[in-house]
Amino acid sequence: MSALKPGSTIGIIGGGQLGRMMAVAAAQLGYRCHIYAPEPVSVAAEVAGAFTQAAYDDVAALERFAAEVDVVTYEFENVAVEPLRALTDKVAVHPSLDALAIAQDRLREKAFVAELGGRTAPWAGVNSLEELEAALTRIGCPAILKTTRFGYDGKGQARIHTPKDAAEAWDTIGRQPAILEGFVRFEREFSVIVARGADGRTVGWDVPDNQHVNGILAHCVVPAGGIVDEQATEARALAETVAEKLGYVGVLTLEFFASADGPVFNEMAPRVHNSGHWTIEGAVTSQFENHIRAVCGLPMGDSRLAARRVTMDNLIGDAADNWDVILADPTAHLHLYGKGAARPGRKMGHVTRLEF
């Protein structure tokens, strides 16, 4: 792939904060962005040069979009893959739609990673209450039932403590195709974020320790220290193998549990990730810049840590109302996503702090 020259237009599918931060990174490198999203108001479109408001499965609109951009990437993975194939005849799409298809299906991603030697929780695909009950006898309790597709931030999940919980869990997730996972006894959670360039060169960032509240990422610390650092090399090698196998171009995130048996793969995201927001100020080159570099065929920038210690706190719901208090701390880097209403659980911004 020859490099796309600055001045070219990057199409971004999805209109949220990840697209917004990608567009800011793209602007720094002299690219224009064109956002494609169904919502009338997009926080990514507000910082981009062009916006198409259309449904993710509107093939005619996707074709017009493809004609107006030089490359397509995405910031949101819960979109049907088939309509997006209308793009690939006309323009390169990175990461590939094959990678997207695997990452948006919890069964496929587990099978794919297990095949490459990754450790996973015991799991089974279930399509009915009877199959769930049968799988529970094999996997045992406690367990977690998750919709195979379209789950995020702990949504579309139900915990099963005893076999008696099966029917209620099946109802909770909406009686949809699902995966039953054995409960992993983990000490900590972490993620591996790598960026693979079009030339196959892969860089990875320091591995953050990720702390969740109510299923939503709340806090990241880098370096993670302890068991996470001990398991980071193995986890990063797995992420690089996954990227290599997929011929991946762009930023790829794998989430892990640090368990007594070693790193247990949980899920992957074919995109920049909330647990990498700290890289904007905390690394020499951010995940957003390296993603833009990768999809444009440019060399990867240095991903090393730029401080002794970096923390990132998500501002969820009305936590963003404290923006003035946060700004009173001169070491805090405040990011607000420009979203209107602060609903509970909604990611409104984040704060990164560097220690030297």
The piece of 64-72, 177-185, 235-243, 288-296 that touches ligand AMP (CB under 6 A) is 177-185
Exactly one of 165, 267, 289, 313 binds ligand AMP (CB under 6 A); that residue is 267
The DSSP code sequence of 48-107 is SSEEEE--TT-HHHHHHHHHH-SEEEES---S-HHHHHHHHTTS-BSS-HHHHHHHT-HH
Exactly one of 49, 154, 338, 345 binds ligand AMP (CB under 6 A); that residue is 154
Element (H, E) at 170: helix 166-172
Q: C-beta of 184: minimal distance to ligand AMP in Å?
A: 4
Query: 51 vs 257, which CB is nearer to ligand AMP?
Result: 257
User: Reduced to 3 states, what is the DSSP secondary structure of residue 22?
Assistant: helix
Q: C-beta of 137: minimal distance to ligand AMP in Å?
A: 18
Among 212, 256, 219, CA closest to 236? 256
Q: Which of residues 234-263 bind ligand AMP (CB under 6 A)?
A: 255
Q: Which of residues 283-302 bind ligand AMP (CB under 6 A)?
A: none
Residue 189 touches ligand AMP, criterion: CB under 6 A:
yes
Assigned token pair, 209: 């320790």
Residue 209 touches ligand AMP, criterion: CB under 6 A:
no
Residue 151 touches ligand AMP, criterion: CB under 6 A:
yes
Assigned token pair, 313: 């706190």
Q: C-beta of 284: minimal distance to ligand AMP in Å?
A: 28
The piece of 30-38, 47-55, 179-187, 271-279 that touches ligand AMP (CB under 6 A) is 179-187
Listed in order, strand segments (DSSP E) in the chain are 9-13, 32-37, 50-53, 71-74, 123-126, 143-147, 157-160, 178-182, 186-196, 202-204, 209-213, 216-222, 250-259, 262-269, 309-316, 332-336, 347-355
The binding site for ligand AMP (CB under 6 A) comprises: 121, 144, 151, 154, 181, 183-184, 189, 212, 215, 255, 266-267
